[in-house]
Chains A and B, each alone.
Chain A
Amino acid sequence: MTREEIFKGLNEVFSDVFDEDIIVNDNTTADDIEDWDSLEHINLIVAVENKFGIKFNIGEVNKMKNVGEMVDLILSKL
């Protein structure tokens, strides 16, 4: 899977979780999306895990700074 394909998948996940059309990029963070609070964050992580069939571990989730890092992490797990 390429980075582009992962971004495409993430756009679907984000749009689904936050219930609006969202296009993410490398620099997207929680500050860019109004509804991205701690509770939605959990739903987002679960949805991303299910979408790509992967599991994050605790350290990884805590360290993620932006969507770009999330994509790198997903790539490394596929």
Chain B
Amino acid sequence: MPLYRLMGNKEASDIHGKINFISRLNDEFYTYAREHDNFYICDINYISADYGLKKWQEPFYWYMYKYALNVSAIPYLSYNIANIIKSLLGKNKKGFVLDLDNTLWGGIVGDDGVDNLEIGPEESSGQVYSEFQNYIKEHKDLGLVLNIDSKNEAENALSGLNHPDGVLKPDDFIEIKANWEPKDRNFLQIADSLTVLPESLVFVDDNPAERAIVTSNIKGVVAPEIGEAHDYIQVIDRSGFFEVTNLSKDDLKRNEMYKENVKRAKLQATFENYEDYLLSLEMIANIKRFESIYTARIAQLSNKSNQFNLTTKRYTQTEIEDIMIDKEYIPIYGKLSDKFGDNGLVSIVIGHIIKDVCHIELWLMSCRVLKRDLEFAMMDELVKLCREQGIKKIKGYYYPTAKNKMVKDFYSTMGFTKLSEDDNGNTEWKFDIIDNYKNKNNVIKVEEI
């Protein structure tokens, strides 16, 4: 925004005003961004207002060096751009692990009793916590998962969350750990049961000692210094944990899916035989070549899958679109649903055909469908498509990272033979497609088109 206003406040509304012009110009950009994938707005208008427009611009630097903003403001702008890039690379956090006492409400429920907690519209101190609960709850609508990690009797924690003036209710959370265990241990259990990496969850606790325990014992976890209760929202909001770039349908449904997983776990406990359990899920898979409606989701998945990922190769949406139409590739995606719900698009295999061999450039699967045998169904489909093109040989590659140990022996499980292994643990595998190849998947119904 300009540093001067010729007509004063009228600049904003008058069609001749420069402020009015910039507002309309920005609006055109926003429209364009809504209508085009891969076009992102870095909202300088907000960032500069937040920073302080007077401080944001420094005429000296403009006239001397043509710097459009004050040198001291550059880091803040860079930070915002970095957040967008970070988000595109799948580095966003996936949810919160929250403390209760003096974090989601004022007071200590075990000592003060539910009736004396600070929450609700009557008092200013209660308003602060109501607003914070509301802020946290809004994240749920963006597909982030909420969990509790609190030193409390479980019963007290639940009665606090059932406070009539509370915005967050027990049902809003996937995992509620209210006990006297060390918080880092609870934290790890929460990450484990959600099948996400611990560092993808943000720890929110008013107590610096608890934050230190969690961040020093679990590598990569962030626990913002949230300050006083009235600062919580601002501190978290400016941390760039959840910068939204592409919001997929899967993101919006994530909470439902985790809830369904809890139901699956309960069902599994009733079966002695794992295969019987899998059959009882009545799973249906859609496994097909890439389609343009899914390229955004495929690119997103390729950038954020770390654990069940053999090569950890990252793709942009444009690269995915190119591969989709390239005849030298066999690119397939897998969707999985069962009687509890739809998991959406959760697995990708990209085979690159060079001469008569199909090289598996990428094989990944979302961890929320681990141990459901979808990988076998993907293998069957890959074999089928190879055969259609007369390809008899598949080569697989495993490149170890800090995070993908779980698939170290994946190709062995799939029936591949190891060809080589180098000093860094990179391995190469081959699979010969025999004439009487028998499908490996027996528990998922794969829908024919």
CB distance from A31 to the nearest CB of B (A): 20
Give B67's nearest chain A residue, CB to CB: A42
Which range holds the interface residue count of chain B? under 10
Determine whether the beta carbon of B64 is less than 8 Å from that of A61. yes
CB distance from B102 to the nearest CB of A (A): 39
Contacts from B to A (Cβ < 8 Å): 60-61, 63-65, 67, 71-72
Neighbouring A residues of B71 by C-beta, 8 Å? 42-43, 46
Query: A42-B71, A46-B71 are known contacts. Are A57 and B60 too (CB-CB below 8 A)?
Result: yes
Neighbouring A residues of B61 by C-beta, 8 Å? 42
Neighbouring B residues of A38 by C-beta, 8 Å? 65
Give A56's nearest chain B residue, CB to CB: B60
What separation, in Å, do the CA atoms of A64 and B85 have in the docked complex? 40
Neighbouring B residues of A1 by C-beta, 8 Å? none
Give B61's nearest chain A residue, CB to CB: A42
What separation, in Å, do the CA atoms of A64 and B31 have in the docked complex? 48
What separation, in Å, do the CA atoms of A65 and B67 have in the docked complex? 23
Q: List 16 A-B contacts (CB under 8 A).
A: A38-B65, A42-B61, A42-B64, A42-B65, A42-B67, A42-B71, A43-B71, A46-B71, A46-B72, A55-B60, A56-B60, A57-B60, A58-B60, A58-B63, A58-B64, A61-B64
Neighbouring A residues of B72 by C-beta, 8 Å? 46
With A42-B61, A43-B71, A56-B60 known, 13 other A-B pairs at CB within 8 A are A38-B65, A42-B64, A42-B65, A42-B67, A42-B71, A46-B71, A46-B72, A55-B60, A57-B60, A58-B60, A58-B63, A58-B64, A61-B64
Neighbouring B residues of A61 by C-beta, 8 Å? 64
Which of A42, A43, A57 has most chain B Cβ within 10 Å?
Answer: A42
What separation, in Å, do the CA atoms of A55 and B65 have in the docked complex? 15
What separation, in Å, do the CA atoms of A38 and B71 have in the docked complex? 14
What separation, in Å, do the CA atoms of A38 and B64 have in the docked complex? 11
Neighbouring B residues of A57 by C-beta, 8 Å? 60
- Binary B-proximity of A34-53 (CB < 8 A = 1, otherwise 0): 00001000110010000000
Neighbouring A residues of B65 by C-beta, 8 Å? 38, 42
What separation, in Å, do the CA atoms of A57 and B239 have in the docked complex? 36
Give B59's nearest chain A residue, CB to CB: A58
CB distance from B382 to the nearest CB of A (A): 51
